Amino acid sequence: MINFAGGELLSEKRGPIQWLTFNRPEARNALTWAMYDGLVDECARINRDRSVRALVLTGSGNAFAAGTDIAQFREFSTLQDALEYEAHSSEIMATLESVRVPVIAAIAGPCTGGGAAIAACCDLRIASPSAKFGIPIARTLGNCLSLKTSARLVALLGLARTKELLLTGRLMTAEELLTSGFVIEVTKTDADLQARAQALVEDLAENAPLTLEASKRALQRVRDRLFPSEDDADLIEMCYLSADFREGIEAFLAKRKPVWKGR
């Protein structure tokens, strides 16, 4: 096993299957900048290593990933900070989607914010009964999604369900995720999740690798027709430079309910 980001991202090869584990259980695996960078580096390495036939993403403890570590947003002071963050996030998600082998998310507990965006970039998703999925920024932080992340969610969940999740800020249960088709399976218990994920990807690893890669690329090209070409800088500026965004950060870190002002 290889540790990245000071042990916050773990990489382990199990036969032809590569496992990447988000490893900040004390913070429900909230993602640091270093963890995002480690994910990008590992995606690039897997693309070079032809012995890897599938990739599984999961989280340690009873969580997949509860978004980006909110404390890092205290560093933001200008529009450029926000634009660079969203641009870098888009690059990370595109890199994950470019992995040549099937990528499976094994989801337990919270899969929210940035964690939800990562799961939406995977090819397949399985969940345990404790899984909770959503992007509750309307309740917690007061920022916004990029157009590409919004398009990914619409492609997977449909416009009506995506709109409901973003406007209400609620989280979908494992059963709802299965019914919607977002996950292909829910295990009987949380303890079954990793073994079932390994069995699933071992089956995938027996399939023709070039067919899998070509199928991924073809379907991504079809999906990409949904991606908007418009600029979303005005939406990013409206949210990330607002007093409400500052309030959301401080309220989240203080574990209190934010007081929104609409400005």
Give the domains, in start order, of the chain with CATH numbers.
Answer: 2-210 (3.90.226.10)
| 46 neighbors 18 (Cβ within 8 angstroms) | yes
Query: What tokens appear for 9 in the block?
Result: 């991202």
Q: How does pLDDT run across 210-255, given as a tens digit for each residue?
A: 999 999 999 998 888 867 667 888 999 999 999 999 999 999 999 9
DSSP string, 200-259: HHHHHHTS-HHHHHHHHHHHHHHHHTTS--S--HHHHHHHHTSHHHHHHHHHHHHTS---
Q: How does pLDDT run across 176-205, given as a tens digit for each residue?
A: 999 999 999 999 999 999 999 999 999 999
| 53 neighbors 17 (Cβ within 8 angstroms) | yes
Strands 9-14 and 17-22: antiparallel
Q: Among residues 123, 145, 148, 124, which one has the least CA distance to residue 134? A: 145
CA distance 193 to 78: 42
What's the pLDDT band for 1 if we cut at 50, 70, 90?
Answer: low
| 33 neighbors 9 (Cβ within 8 angstroms) | no
Q: How does pLDDT run across 9-39, given as a tens digit for each residue?
A: 999 999 999 999 999 999 999 999 999 999 9
